[in-house]
Amino acid sequence: MWKQIRSDIEAVFQNDPAAKSVFEVVLTYSGLHAIWAHRIAHWFYRKGWYTVARVISQISRFFTGIEIHPGARIGKRLFIDHGMGVVIGETCEIGDDVVLYQGVTLGGTGKESGKRHPTIGNNVVISSGAKVLGSFTIGDHSKIGANAVVLSEVPPYSTVVGLKARVVKQNGVSLNKLDHDKLPDPLIDIMTKMQDEIASLREQVNELKQENARLAREQHEREKIVAYERIGEGSNL
Ligand SMILES: CC(C)(COP(=O)(O)OP(=O)(O)OC[C@H]1O[C@@H](n2cnc3c(N)ncnc32)[C@H](O)[C@@H]1OP(=O)(O)O)[C@@H](O)C(=O)NCCC(=O)NCCS
């Protein structure tokens, strides 16, 4: 147990340059308090003492602002930075050396039963405000951008951003955002359709302008002819 506590504290120093002393970390890091409370709650949960487990989890939430369901399975050296607003669902599994920032939700979509929360691989970073919703896997060494909404599996060594999140980088290589064959993206599809629509409307407006100018010319010619005819009739009188 002491070994685990020591590695939890080491994880804080590895991930947070602001951490100054062990005393400060143990006393003030809410993420650490939430993980320790979760270990106790999870022990009760595995023994079938569900209510006791939930009570511990809720007390921990009251003090830390971090809600970890007692059923969640958490690996070694999880670091929750700042923590406020983090929610981790019951069937969530988190690997080793994962970093979570404030406002992260590892939740369900409400459409699944049984395993309904994500499985997070090792060495994954989930940035502030990101929502990972559903029972899929986030591959090892992947990064989820701030405020991303992830609704499907993320391959290892990927960076995903946006709403709904798409892969923008894999194995260190940036992906061409406009390469539609490789990167289906509903937003880009809509924008491309809108561009096509605008081009077609511009063409129609130009055609109408030309037609209008032609009609105006014809009208002018007709008026000139009528005027000449009137002058001719006047001279005959
Ligand atoms: C995702 C993140 C971890 C960077 O990962 P990375 O693999 O180094 O990715 P890059 O910085 O090379 O970014 C790749 C592309 O995604 C874009 N991007 C990065 N983060 C983004 C985000 N949150 N939302 C939208 N686009 C984002 C970049 O602008 C870049 O686009 P480009 O290729 O057009 O230039 C980082 O941007 C991030 O979100 N960090 C937040 C960390 C955090 O929560 N801190 C809180 C501390 S309190």
Q: What CA–CA distance (Å, rounded) separates 217 from 233?
A: 24
Q: Is 10 exposed, middle or buried (0-12, 13-18, 19+ CB in 10 A)?
A: middle
Residues 172 and 236 reside in one and the same domain = no
Residues 110 and 224 reside in one and the same domain = no
Q: Which of 161, 167, 174 to mutate to test the pocket of ligand 1 (most atoms within 8 A of CB)?
A: 161
How far, in Å, is the centroid of ligand 1 from the Cα of 169? Answer: 10
Cα atoms in the Cβ-side hemisphere of radius 13 Å centred on 194: 6
Strand residue runs (E) in the chain = 67-68, 73-74, 79-80, 87-88, 93-94, 99-100, 105-107, 119-120, 125-126, 131-133, 137-138, 143-144, 149-150, 158-162, 165-170, 173-174
Q: Which of 98, 168, 179 to mutate to test the pocket of ligand 1 (most atoms within 8 A of CB)?
A: 168
Residues 123 and 209 reside in one and the same domain = no
Residues 31 and 124 reside in one and the same domain = yes
Confidence (pLDDT) at 169: 85
CB under 6 Å to ligand 1: residues? 82, 101, 125, 127-128, 143, 145-147, 159, 161-162, 168-169, 174
Give the ligand 1 atom nearest the CA of 174: 33
Residues 202 and 116 reside in one and the same domain = no
- Averaged confidence pLDDT in the chain: 92
**Angle subtended at Cα 106 by Cα 100 and Cα 109, rounded to the nearest 5 degrees:** 160
Domain boundary among 168, 184, 200: 184
Residues 67 and 147 reside in one and the same domain = yes
Within 8 A by CB and 6+ apart from 73, the residues are 42, 92, 93, 94
Q: What CA–CA distance (Å, rounded) separates 52 from 62?
A: 15
The tokens describing 208, both together, are 């109408």
Q: What CA–CA distance (Å, rounded) separates 30 from 10?
A: 15
Confidence (pLDDT) at 13: 94
Q: What is the tens place of the pLDDT at every residue in 74-114?
A: 999 999 999 999 999 999 999 999 999 999 999 999 888 89
Residues 180 and 206 reside in one and the same domain = no
Q: Whose CA is nearest to atom 42 of ligand 1?
A: 127
Q: What is the tens place of the pLDDT at every residue in 104-160?
A: 999 999 888 899 999 999 999 999 999 999 999 999 999 999 999 999 999 999 999
- Residue pair 95/121 in contact by the 8 Å Cβ criterion: yes
How far, in Å, is the centroid of ligand 1 from the Cα of 216? Answer: 57
The tokens describing 217, both together, are 């010319």
pLDDT at residue 176 above 70?
no
